[in-house]
Amino acid sequence: MAALNTVKIFSGSNSSYLAEQIAKEYGRPLGGYTCRTFSDGEISPVYDESVRGCDVFLIQSTPPPADNLLELLLMVDAARRASAHYVTVVLPYFGYARQDRKDKPRVAIAAKLVANLLTAAGVDRLMTIDLHAGQIQGFFDKPVDHLEGTSVFVPYVKALGLDNLLIASPDVGGAARARNFAKFLNADMVICDKYRKRANEIASMQVIGDVEGANVVLFDDLIDTGGTMCKAAEIILDKGAKSVRAICTHPIMSGKAYENIENSMLEELIVTDTLPLRQKSSKIKVISVASLFAKAIGRIRDHESISSLFLNNQ
């Protein structure tokens, strides 16, 4: 029989590689869980141990296919129906976050729909890192713990010991994110202004600011096909920069992303393990956020503030 308010951590099928590290850092093994699949593809999550009265943490990123999101919703429902005391969803990567507003007529706001689905399923709390847009936190009427990748990226960049460091945003929309990163490194920043005719296809790009003789670090929340980063690196080097590397929290890496990165002018691409890499690359370095999530889980368990995990408060 489970003890009252015992913490139990479970992993969905998509994030087992990261969940195992989080559980290890936390000091507790993953809970027993099985996701059965019927012959027609229908999935049925089952907890292999009691969660009655427990504080349950469910770890699952939700990139396509939609089965990842559906599995998470079913995990929440199963935990609720098994009388879990408190259900916290840990979303290392919040899928559909890029559809956070109506940027043209007759489109869905998918991020809000996902928030509604999680709330309807019975989530008590959400934990995630580097949302595509911070205001997505407002889509929930439940507490949201929004962790920051700067906690692991800033020490890495400082260790590189780069002179004349310059932070660059690959687009205007990410300027605030890049400015916050630059602040922790006491560095100036520039902006790459891009224009798209359609998704994942850049029509033109220009650099706003002087990069002559600088070691430039491009900073963004995610990398998809890699087209933007590779184009930005090429233009920045053409403008006289000494080197260009990129930092992105979520390595979606779809399409020809790996080929694009290998053939690019980037020195390296630094990412986290919120999503698994499909293949290895000599230019890609992975920094784990398992310890960061484990510390946050511990603070939630003990009803302590997690603000100490942010660089602003260190």
Q: What is the pLDDT of residues 181-202, one digit of tens each?
A: 999 999 999 998 866 556 655 5
Q: Do domains 7-148+290-313 and 150-287 have the same CATH topology?
A: yes
Angle at 16 between CA 14 and CA 19, to 5 degrees: 120
Q: What pLDDT is recorded for position 240? A: 95
At a CB cut-off of 8 Å and minimum separation 6, what does 184 contact?
A: 150, 154, 311
pLDDT tens per residue, the chain (314 residues)? Answer: 444 579 999 999 999 999 999 999 999 999 999 999 999 999 999 999 999 999 999 999 999 999 999 999 999 999 999 999 999 999 999 999 999 999 899 999 999 999 999 999 999 999 999 999 999 999 999 999 999 999 999 999 999 999 999 999 988 888 999 999 999 999 999 998 866 556 655 556 788 899 999 999 999 999 999 988 998 999 999 999 999 999 999 999 999 999 999 999 999 999 999 999 999 899 999 999 999 999 999 999 999 999 888 876 55
Q: What pLDDT is recorded for position 67? A: 96
Tokens of 296: 């946050």
Tokens of 174: 């990410």
Domain at 150-287: CATH architecture? 3-Layer(aba) Sandwich (3.40)
**Domains in the chain: boundaries:** 7-148+290-313, 150-287
Give CA–CA dist 62/234, Å, rounded. 32
Give me the amino acid identity at 33.
Y
Q: What pLDDT is recorded for position 202? A: 55
Give me the amino acid identity at 270.
I
Domain at 7-148+290-313: CATH architecture? 3-Layer(aba) Sandwich (3.40)
Active-site position among 24, 142, 194, 197: 194
Q: What is the pTM of this model?
A: 0.92
Per the annotation, the verdict on 104 as an active-site residue is no
Q: What pLDDT is recorded for position 200? A: 52
Q: What pLDDT is recorded for position 1? A: 45
- Reduced to 3 states, what is the DSSP secondary structure of residue 220? strand
Is the distance from CB of 19 to CB of 273 less than 8 angstroms? no
